[in-house]
Every structure is written in C-alpha cells, then in structure tokens.
Amino acid sequence: MSEIAFFRRVAVTVIAWASGNSLFAGPGLAEIREADLKRDVYALADPHFNGRSAGTIDELKAAAWLAERYRAIGLVPAGDDGTYFQYFTLWRNQLSERATVSLDGAPLEMWRDVAVAQLAHATIDAPVVYLGPAAAVDLAAAEVAGRVVALEANPAEFNPAMSLPTWRYARSQYTKYGLPLLRRGAAAIIFVNDEVGEKCWDDSVENFKRGTYALEGDPNAAVTAVAPVLWVRAAAKARLQGGKAVLKATLGVDRYPYPSVNVVGKVAGTDAKLAAEHVLYSGHTDAHGIRNPIKGDRIYHGADDNCSADAALLACARAFVRHPGKRSVLFVIHGAEERGLFGSRYYAANPTVPAASIVAVLNGEMIGRNDPKTATLLGATAPHKNSDALVTMALAANAEGPGFTVETAWDSPSHPEGWYFRSDHLPYARLNIPAVMFTTLLHPDYHTPQDNAQNIDYAKLTRMTEWMYRTGWKVADAAERPAVNPDFKLER
C-alpha cells in the first residue's frame, strides 16, 4: 500500500468512525442523502409522467429520465447494445371497441351497464338461464353445457382485509363460481351485481378495460377462450330473473404489441476475481397511469409504488460509484411490474450478465410510508427464505444501521395478500438466486392517486435506503457469495 493510499484509508476510516459507521458497514453512507431522495421522488412522481403506465410513452419517458440519472451518477450502461435500455415486447389483448351487448334487444352501454371480465372471441344469440344467487348454485350439477347462465354475485366473497378489495372482488367470484361453470361447458357467464359489486364497479371496470398482457413467446399470449364472463349492474336483475331474457353479444378481441423497457446500469467491482459477480438492486418504473378519479385526481402517481425504491437505487448507485465494492453492482429498474412482473420475468430469462453471476437480488417495493419504527423484509421466513446467509446479512445491516423493528407476518403462506408473489424479486427467486424484498408495506393510498410525493416520509425512506445500501455493501464485499438454502421450495 502506498503512503498516499494509506493516509486516505486512515482518513476515510476516521470519518466513518466519527459518524458511527465502520468501513465494513459501507463507506458510501454519506452519499445517501434525504434531499436527493426527495428530489428524485418528486421528479419521477411528477404529474407530467401521467402515472407511468406500462407500455405507454409515459413509461418510456420515465425510463429515459432514469437512464439520464444513471448517466449523471456515473453508472456504466449495462442494458443491450451498450445502452442503459433493455427493451422487450408485451402482447396486449383488449376488448374490441366495436363490441356490442344487448338484453332482449335493448343495447347495454359497454363499461357503464355491462363489463367484460373475461375476453373471448364470441358471438352469442341465446336465452339466458337464470341460476339465482351464486351461493345457492349446485356447481357440480347445474346444467350449463352450451348455455348462457346468469347468477347473482355473493357478497360473502368480499374480503375487507385485502388491499384493493375492489376488482379482486370480481376475481374471487370468478374463481369460486365462474371457473367451475366454465369447466362444465357454459357458453357465457353473466354475474349480476350485488351492493358490493356496485361499489366496486368503477375500479373493476378500469381493470377489465385493460385486458390482458403477456410476454412475447408466452403460450398464453393469445386469447383462446370462447366463453366470455360478463358483469351487469344490479338493475338488470329483474329482466334476467324472469328466465326469458335473450342475450345478444358480439365480443371481438384486438391484439397488438406493446413495448416496455428495463433500465440497467452497473458499477464494476474492484476485485480481479469477484468483479465478475453481481449484486442486483431492483425497482420498477411503472405505476397505474390515468384512471377513474378519486378525491379529484385521476393520475395514479405511484410515488411510494415505486418511485421510493427507484430513488433509493439512485442513492445506492451514488454510494457504489464513489466507493465500489469487490463485486460488481447492477441496478435494474424494471418495466411493466404492475401488469404482471414482466420486466423482471424478461430480465431473469434474458439477463445482460450471466445469470449464474448474480449472487443476490435486493428488491425495493414501496419503502416510504407507515410507522417510522417498523419495516418488512420479505423472503426472510420459510418457505420464502431462499438464503439464510443473505437474510443474516440484511438483518445485521438493519441492526448496525436504521434499527427497524422487522415484521415477518407477511411471509406467511396463509397471509391474505400473498405479497411475496407480487414483486420483482420473484422471477429471480424462482431461478434459485438469493432474493429479498425490502418494504414498508401497504397503506390506504396504495394504487390510488393519493400515492403522491407529498405523502412520503422522507426520513424513513432515507433509513430504508441506508438499510438496502448496507445490505448490498455486505454482499458486494463478502469473501463468499450468499449460499442458497438447499431445501428452498415455494408453496406455489
């Protein structure tokens, strides 16, 4: 070691010591600043990005903004063809704008009087068999083959403990009553709204309108169903109840490619050998775009979900650029997470570095809200824990730094949210890459326009970022990469 390097090292050690942090915990802690995090969240959650809906120009603009931040910070491009970008194609299926539905010759206005919950290429002109309340239908015996059947939604399926009970209400009816009838050959299913369904209508419709998305090459990319699932308003009940109603419907499906993009940058490691390995930090660009208004706002800004984590990644990037670790560090901000983890599924299948070189995935997902004292690490408890070593490092990083009370209940397979399966670490965990998700959990503004930059707790976000940075530093600088638990097996 040269004298200059020696004295620089002493100075860094003294500074780190003075701030209560050993070098081992991460020499770049001073690069994690609340002011930067706040500025970046405000910029990315700004209304001019229109809620960054996946596959739209708004998501692409936000991705370009992130790439420009990467460049300014000094990350090396690590996407395709020497750029920060990895583009991928989604296929989207949406109900044709020419679709029509009528009952007894009276047209129903699409999305106001009737909604199409399951797309199908179907032309129907048939009497409607009225089965009555869903809860009373004998799903194994009702004669439904080749018939159009109507049944009343069962409000007992409403789970107020869930976030978004709105469109998930319709899905729970579909799973419990719709699927068994479809399997037995029903030609179409009509759910008749109850009072809960009426309250959920606007949100359900926004989700149905989007249609379906799939990655190119996915066998499910095309709509193959022939039996549609419709919802009608409670007002249609009287007409259907008589048992003589006739449904006429022409339900075409439009199919078209949709572009999305991952934003990928890198800091090279300093160790001649370990630099070939990568610690992967993960976030996502997209939010929910422009939708039904709530409290006077139609833009679903997604400030906590997920500008908070993206800003944290930018801060960690500053820290690693200033003080690289032995291993290389990748920053992947995924596209199209909200539509089904498509960016992470694509990157995990088409990584821009060898998949075997990714030693850990540190995913941030909504990290700026709720009680300042608590936070959650998903993937920290069986059966979702896939690396004791990584979890030990993450918990030690918390103890040395922010000192959150770490909640573990959300890893339980019986937790109603099943949240482990709903963010971008999942496709990597499925490849047996050690993976955890840092989060401060759901809140009443989740997936509403009120998830905005004003409602973020920036002091807490700073401490969450510190936790993610300290964890990444430990992984980047460890002699051994974190081992995968040999018995790891997800419950679904």
- Residues at the contact surface with Zn ion, assessed by CB under 5 A: 305-306
C-alpha closest to that of 37 among 403, 450, 438, 368: 368
DSSP 357-407: GEEEEEEE-S-S-S-TTEEEEETSSTTT---HHHHHHHHHHHHHTT--EEE
Decide the pairing of beta strands 106-108 and 253-267: unpaired
Q: In degrees rounded to 5, what are phi and psi of residue 210?
A: -65, -30
Closer CB to Zn ion, 400 or 445, in the complex: 445
Q: How far is the CB of 340 from Zn ion (least distance, A)?
A: 12
Closer CB to Zn ion, 411 or 451, in the complex: 451
Closer CB to Zn ion, 193 or 363, in the complex: 363
CA distances from 154 to 170, 178, 224, 240 (A): 10, 12, 28, 17
Cα 209 to Cα 232: distance, rounded to the nearest angstrom: 15
Closer CB to Zn ion, 58 or 305, in the complex: 305
Q: How far is the CB of 262 from Zn ion (least distance, A)?
A: 15
Q: How far is the CB of 408 from Zn ion (least distance, A)?
A: 20
Closer CB to Zn ion, 172 or 306, in the complex: 306
Tokens of 436: 């955890």
Q: How far is the CB of 316 from Zn ion (least distance, A)?
A: 18
Decide the pairing of beta strands 122-133 and 114-118: unpaired
Q: How far is the CB of 267 from Zn ion (least distance, A)?
A: 24
Q: How far is the CB of 306 from Zn ion (least distance, A)?
A: 4
Closer CB to Zn ion, 306 or 370, in the complex: 306
Give the number of residues written for the chain.
492
CB–CB of 253/127 below 8 Å?
A: no
Closer CB to Zn ion, 40 or 305, in the complex: 305
Closer CB to Zn ion, 203 or 305, in the complex: 305
Q: How far is the CB of 337 from Zn ion (least distance, A)?
A: 6
Closer CB to Zn ion, 116 or 287, in the complex: 287
Cα 417 to Cα 409: distance, rounded to the nearest angstrom: 11
CA distances from 420 to 377, 411, 491 (A): 10, 7, 11
DSSP 255-287: EEEEEEEEEEEEE--SSTTGGGSEEEEEEE--B
Cα 304 to Cα 361: distance, rounded to the nearest angstrom: 20
Number of H helices, E strands in the chain: 12, 20
Q: How far is the CB of 342 from Zn ion (least distance, A)?
A: 13
- Between CA 473 and CA 478, with CA 474 as vertex, the angle to 5 degrees is 120
Cα 289 to Cα 300: distance, rounded to the nearest angstrom: 5
Q: How far is the CB of 406 from Zn ion (least distance, A)?
A: 20
